[in-house]
Amino acid sequence: KQEVTQIPAALSVPEGENLVLNCSFTDSAIYNLQWFRQDPGKGLTSLLLIQSSQREQTSGRLNASLDKSSGRSTLYIAASQPGDSATYLCAVTLANAGGTSYGKLTFGQGTILTVHP
Amino acid sequence: EAQVTQNPRYLITVTGKKLTVTCSQNMNHEYMSWYRQDPGLGLRQIYYSMNVEVTDKGDVPEGYKVSRKEKRNFPLILESPSPNQTSLYFCASKAGGFGYGYTFGSGTRLTVV
Protein backbone atom coordinates (compact mmCIF):
# COMPACT_ATOMS: atom_id res chain seq x y z
CA LYS A 1 0.00 0.00 0.00
CA GLN A 2 1.34 3.39 -1.02
CA GLU A 3 2.17 5.68 1.89
CA VAL A 4 3.08 9.32 1.48
CA THR A 5 4.90 11.30 4.15
CA GLN A 6 5.53 15.02 4.23
CA ILE A 7 8.19 16.72 6.30
CA PRO A 8 8.05 19.08 8.08
CA ALA A 9 4.48 19.05 9.36
CA ALA A 10 4.67 22.81 9.91
CA LEU A 11 7.08 25.52 8.92
CA SER A 12 7.24 29.18 9.88
CA VAL A 13 9.62 31.48 8.00
CA PRO A 14 10.20 35.19 7.54
CA GLU A 15 9.22 36.77 4.26
CA GLY A 16 11.84 36.50 1.53
CA GLU A 17 13.29 33.18 2.57
CA ASN A 18 13.77 30.32 0.14
CA LEU A 19 12.33 27.09 1.48
CA VAL A 20 12.00 23.41 0.73
CA LEU A 21 9.11 21.10 1.46
CA ASN A 22 9.71 17.37 1.38
CA CYS A 23 7.55 14.48 0.27
CA SER A 24 8.45 10.78 0.34
CA PHE A 25 6.51 7.78 -0.93
CA THR A 26 6.97 4.07 -0.34
CA ASP A 27 6.10 2.62 -3.77
CA SER A 28 8.25 3.96 -6.59
CA ALA A 29 5.92 2.67 -9.33
CA ILE A 30 4.17 5.99 -9.60
CA TYR A 31 2.26 7.35 -12.58
CA ASN A 32 2.70 10.97 -11.61
CA LEU A 33 3.03 13.24 -8.58
CA GLN A 34 1.08 16.40 -7.93
CA TRP A 35 1.64 19.25 -5.49
CA PHE A 36 -1.40 21.14 -4.23
CA ARG A 37 -2.03 24.18 -2.12
CA GLN A 38 -4.98 24.40 0.27
CA ASP A 39 -6.09 27.53 2.08
CA PRO A 40 -8.05 27.02 5.33
CA GLY A 41 -11.52 25.64 4.67
CA LYS A 42 -11.02 25.86 0.93
CA GLY A 43 -10.49 23.50 -1.96
CA LEU A 44 -7.24 22.25 -3.41
CA THR A 45 -5.39 24.22 -6.03
CA SER A 46 -2.99 22.30 -8.24
CA LEU A 47 0.49 23.82 -8.28
CA LEU A 48 2.65 21.42 -10.25
CA LEU A 49 2.38 18.00 -11.83
CA ILE A 50 5.44 15.84 -12.48
CA GLN A 51 5.08 12.87 -14.76
CA SER A 52 6.89 9.69 -13.81
CA SER A 53 9.43 10.20 -16.59
CA GLN A 54 10.25 13.77 -15.57
CA ARG A 55 12.76 15.04 -13.01
CA GLU A 56 11.34 18.47 -12.31
CA GLN A 57 8.74 21.07 -13.14
CA THR A 58 8.78 24.83 -12.63
CA SER A 59 6.07 27.43 -12.34
CA GLY A 60 7.06 30.94 -11.37
CA ARG A 61 8.69 30.84 -7.94
CA LEU A 62 7.91 27.16 -7.52
CA ASN A 63 10.08 24.25 -8.53
CA ALA A 64 9.24 20.63 -7.87
CA SER A 65 11.67 17.77 -8.32
CA LEU A 66 11.09 14.04 -8.46
CA ASP A 67 13.47 11.18 -7.69
CA LYS A 68 11.50 8.01 -8.26
CA SER A 69 14.27 5.62 -7.30
CA SER A 70 14.58 7.11 -3.82
CA GLY A 71 10.87 7.78 -3.48
CA ARG A 72 11.22 11.51 -2.93
CA SER A 73 9.93 14.82 -4.20
CA THR A 74 10.72 18.32 -3.07
CA LEU A 75 8.86 21.58 -3.57
CA TYR A 76 11.14 24.59 -3.60
CA ILE A 77 9.57 28.00 -3.01
CA ALA A 78 11.78 30.96 -3.82
CA ALA A 79 11.51 34.34 -2.15
CA SER A 80 8.54 33.39 0.01
CA GLN A 81 5.70 35.87 0.58
CA PRO A 82 2.94 36.09 3.21
CA GLY A 83 0.48 35.12 0.49
CA ASP A 84 2.24 31.76 0.24
CA SER A 85 0.90 30.85 3.69
CA ALA A 86 -1.22 27.72 3.25
CA THR A 87 -1.10 23.96 3.59
CA TYR A 88 0.91 22.25 0.88
CA LEU A 89 -0.08 18.72 -0.06
CA CYS A 90 1.81 16.13 -2.04
CA ALA A 91 -0.15 13.39 -3.80
CA VAL A 92 0.96 10.44 -5.91
CA THR A 93 -0.87 8.29 -8.41
CA LEU A 94 0.29 4.71 -8.72
CA ALA A 95 0.83 3.05 -12.07
CA ASN A 96 -0.88 -0.29 -12.58
CA ALA A 97 0.67 -3.39 -14.13
CA GLY A 98 -0.28 -2.18 -17.61
CA GLY A 99 1.59 1.08 -17.17
CA THR A 100 -1.55 3.18 -16.96
CA SER A 101 -3.35 4.28 -13.83
CA TYR A 102 -6.58 3.72 -11.96
CA GLY A 103 -6.37 7.39 -11.12
CA LYS A 104 -6.25 7.06 -7.35
CA LEU A 105 -4.46 9.86 -5.53
CA THR A 106 -2.73 9.06 -2.26
CA PHE A 107 -2.08 12.16 -0.20
CA GLY A 108 0.47 13.09 2.39
CA GLN A 109 -0.67 14.82 5.57
CA GLY A 110 0.57 18.16 4.34
CA THR A 111 2.96 20.88 5.46
CA ILE A 112 1.42 23.96 7.05
CA LEU A 113 3.45 26.93 5.89
CA THR A 114 3.35 30.33 7.57
CA VAL A 115 5.29 33.19 6.05
CA HIS A 116 5.37 36.20 8.35
CA PRO A 117 6.14 39.74 7.23
CA GLU B 1 -14.34 28.39 -17.24
CA ALA B 2 -13.07 24.84 -16.72
CA GLN B 3 -14.19 23.68 -13.33
CA VAL B 4 -15.55 21.04 -11.02
CA THR B 5 -18.77 22.15 -9.36
CA GLN B 6 -20.06 20.65 -6.13
CA ASN B 7 -23.37 21.32 -4.49
CA PRO B 8 -24.27 22.13 -1.85
CA ARG B 9 -21.29 23.92 -0.28
CA TYR B 10 -22.65 23.45 3.22
CA LEU B 11 -25.18 20.96 4.53
CA ILE B 12 -26.48 20.12 7.98
CA THR B 13 -28.66 17.06 8.16
CA VAL B 14 -30.00 14.56 10.66
CA THR B 15 -28.96 10.96 11.14
CA GLY B 16 -30.62 8.61 8.70
CA LYS B 17 -31.95 11.15 6.23
CA LYS B 18 -30.77 10.25 2.75
CA LEU B 19 -28.81 12.90 0.91
CA THR B 20 -26.98 13.42 -2.35
CA VAL B 21 -24.01 15.66 -3.00
CA THR B 22 -23.72 16.51 -6.66
CA CYS B 23 -20.52 16.87 -8.66
CA SER B 24 -20.27 18.07 -12.23
CA GLN B 25 -17.29 18.82 -14.46
CA ASN B 26 -17.25 20.64 -17.80
CA MET B 27 -13.88 19.41 -19.06
CA ASN B 28 -14.93 16.06 -20.58
CA HIS B 29 -12.68 14.26 -18.09
CA GLU B 30 -12.69 10.49 -17.91
CA TYR B 31 -11.64 10.14 -14.27
CA MET B 32 -13.70 11.38 -11.36
CA SER B 33 -13.24 10.76 -7.68
CA TRP B 34 -14.61 11.59 -4.23
CA TYR B 35 -12.47 12.33 -1.18
CA ARG B 36 -13.18 13.18 2.40
CA GLN B 37 -10.90 15.27 4.55
CA ASP B 38 -10.77 14.92 8.32
CA PRO B 39 -8.43 16.50 10.88
CA GLY B 40 -5.52 14.21 11.63
CA LEU B 41 -6.53 11.74 8.90
CA GLY B 42 -5.93 13.87 5.83
CA LEU B 43 -7.60 13.24 2.49
CA ARG B 44 -8.93 9.75 1.85
CA GLN B 45 -10.53 8.42 -1.28
CA ILE B 46 -14.13 7.22 -1.05
CA TYR B 47 -14.94 6.12 -4.60
CA TYR B 48 -13.54 6.70 -8.03
CA SER B 49 -14.65 6.27 -11.62
CA MET B 50 -12.53 5.71 -14.70
CA ASN B 51 -15.37 6.40 -17.11
CA VAL B 52 -19.13 6.13 -17.58
CA GLU B 53 -20.56 3.11 -15.76
CA VAL B 54 -17.10 2.21 -14.38
CA THR B 55 -16.77 2.83 -10.65
CA ASP B 56 -14.76 1.26 -7.84
CA LYS B 57 -14.22 1.57 -4.12
CA GLY B 58 -11.51 3.68 -2.63
CA ASP B 59 -10.13 3.43 0.89
CA VAL B 60 -13.26 4.40 2.85
CA PRO B 61 -16.37 3.43 0.82
CA GLU B 62 -18.57 2.22 3.70
CA GLY B 63 -21.80 4.16 3.96
CA TYR B 64 -21.51 5.76 0.54
CA LYS B 65 -22.78 5.05 -2.97
CA VAL B 66 -21.92 6.59 -6.31
CA SER B 67 -23.09 6.34 -9.89
CA ARG B 68 -21.64 7.50 -13.20
CA LYS B 69 -24.42 7.52 -15.76
CA GLU B 70 -23.08 10.52 -17.63
CA LYS B 71 -19.49 11.53 -18.15
CA ARG B 72 -19.88 14.95 -16.55
CA ASN B 73 -21.69 13.93 -13.35
CA PHE B 74 -20.58 11.85 -10.38
CA PRO B 75 -23.00 12.19 -7.45
CA LEU B 76 -22.16 10.95 -3.96
CA ILE B 77 -25.08 9.36 -2.12
CA LEU B 78 -25.36 8.83 1.61
CA GLU B 79 -28.29 6.45 2.07
CA SER B 80 -28.39 6.71 5.87
CA PRO B 81 -25.94 9.35 7.10
CA SER B 82 -24.36 8.96 10.51
CA PRO B 83 -22.40 11.46 12.64
CA ASN B 84 -19.09 9.81 11.70
CA GLN B 85 -19.71 10.99 8.14
CA THR B 86 -19.42 14.58 9.25
CA SER B 87 -16.54 15.79 7.11
CA LEU B 88 -15.33 18.01 4.30
CA TYR B 89 -15.94 16.31 0.96
CA PHE B 90 -14.17 16.98 -2.30
CA CYS B 91 -14.92 15.88 -5.82
CA ALA B 92 -12.13 15.83 -8.39
CA SER B 93 -11.69 15.02 -12.06
CA LYS B 94 -8.87 14.49 -14.54
CA ALA B 95 -8.28 13.56 -18.13
CA GLY B 96 -6.53 10.29 -18.98
CA GLY B 97 -2.78 10.23 -19.58
CA PHE B 98 0.45 10.90 -17.70
CA GLY B 99 0.45 14.61 -18.19
CA TYR B 100 -2.87 15.40 -16.58
CA GLY B 101 -3.46 16.14 -12.95
CA TYR B 102 -6.59 16.41 -10.89
CA THR B 103 -8.84 19.45 -10.67
CA PHE B 104 -10.74 19.70 -7.40
CA GLY B 105 -14.09 21.20 -6.55
CA SER B 106 -14.52 23.76 -3.78
CA GLY B 107 -15.72 21.22 -1.26
CA THR B 108 -18.91 20.37 0.62
CA ARG B 109 -18.91 20.69 4.36
CA LEU B 110 -21.35 18.12 5.74
CA THR B 111 -22.52 17.97 9.32
CA VAL B 112 -24.67 15.04 10.46
CA VAL B 113 -26.38 15.52 13.83
In this structure, the strands spanning B87-94 and B103-104 are: antiparallel
Check pLDDT > 90 for residue A41: no
- Specify whether the CB–CB gap between A79 and B20 falls below 8 A: no
**Rounded-to-integer distance, Cα B112 and Cα B83, Å:** 5
CA distance B12 to chain A (A): 16
Confidence of residue B107 (pLDDT cuts 50, 70, 90): very high
Interface test with B, best of A4, A30, A105, A107 (most B CBs within 10 A): A105
Check pLDDT > 70 for residue B8: yes
Check pLDDT > 80 for residue A97: no
Task: Give mean pLDDT, residues A61-84.
Answer: 96
User: What's the pLDDT tens digit per position in B38-84?
Assistant: 998 999 999 999 899 999 999 999 999 999 999 999 999 999 999 99
B104, A110: Cβ pair inside 8 Å?
Answer: no
Q: What is the pLDDT of residue A54?
A: 92
**Rounded-to-integer distance, Cα B92 and Cα B5, Å:** 9
Q: What is the pLDDT of residue B101?
A: 87
Q: What is the pLDDT of residue B98?
A: 67
B56, A51: Cβ pair inside 8 Å?
Answer: no
